Amino acid sequence: MKIAIGADHAGYELKELLSKVITEIGHEIIDMGTGSSCSVDYPDYAESVAKAVSDGTYERGILICGTGIGMSIVANKFKNVRAALCNDLFTAKMSRLHNDANILCIGARVIGIGLAKEIVETWLNTPFEGNRHLKRLEKINFIERKVINSENEVIKRS
Ligand code: RB5
């Protein structure tokens, strides 16, 4: 798989480490920054990765900040993005099985390196279960379209 990865300063070191692990497993990593531990703003990196997943350029994305919260808030603003904040193995597995999550968000200040590696491996290796969960994803898409349409109506009227 082609995986876009991004982090702010709090997630930079973990991003570097996880990128190596993911490449060793055999996936292709597209690093969208940041490139050092100097302070930056997480929305900028979440936007780059989420945009690329939203428009289908890359199948999956991984975003790392201090808690993973800021990254997930931003990423879920993008169409077709299902970003899951997973700081434990169970949610990492379930986010794939039930939600077909296409972006994984991790908190570098919440979990250790060992757990982060396991979370990423689990998330990359777990397939979407489909079946009854498919119609729920269709409902998410429907809601997304409704929100976009109502926003367009407001723009048209103003
Ligand atoms: C940066 O200090 C921190 O706020 C950021 O990494 C993240 O945790 C935000 O959600």
Query: How many whole angstroms from 42 Cα to the centroid of ligand 1?
Result: 7
Domain co-membership, 121 together with 134: no
Query: How many whole angstroms from 106 Cα to the centroid of ligand 1?
Result: 11
Q: Which structural domain, as residue segments, surrounds residue 100?
A: 2-127
* Mean pLDDT on 93-110: 98
Query: How many whole angstroms from 104 Cα to the centroid of ligand 1?
Result: 16
Domain co-membership, 133 together with 122: no
- The number of folded domains in the chain is 2
Asked if the bond preceding 23 is cis, omega within 30° of 0, the reply is no
The helix, strand and coil proportions of the chain, stated in percent and rounded to the nearest 5, come to 50, 15, 35
| Residue 158 pLDDT | 85
Domain co-membership, 76 together with 118: yes
pLDDT digits (tens, 9 = 90+) for 80-96: 999 999 999 999 999 99
* Tokens found for residue 75: 């990423």
How far apart (Å, rounded) are the C-alpha atoms in residues 143 and 149? 10
Residue 10: give its domain's CATH number: 3.40.1400.10
Is residue 122 within 8 A of residue 89, CB to CB? The reply is yes
By most ligand atoms within 8 Å of CB, the mutation choice from 40, 67, 109 for ligand 1 is 67
Domain co-membership, 55 together with 88: yes
Angle at CA 8, nearest 5°, toward 147 and 123? 70
| Residue 52 pLDDT | 98
pLDDT digits (tens, 9 = 90+) for 131-153: 999 999 999 999 999 988 888 88
Domain co-membership, 62 together with 138: no
Domain co-membership, 83 together with 56: yes
Nearest-atom index, ligand 1, CA of 71: 10
Residues that are catalytic? 65, 98
Domain co-membership, 133 together with 119: no
Nearest-atom index, ligand 1, CA of 69: 10
pTM: 0.96
Domain co-membership, 96 together with 139: no
Domain co-membership, 99 together with 116: yes
pLDDT digits (tens, 9 = 90+) for 22-61: 999 999 999 999 999 999 999 999 999 999 999 999 999 9
Residue 97 has pLDDT above 90, yes or no: yes
| Residue 156 pLDDT | 86
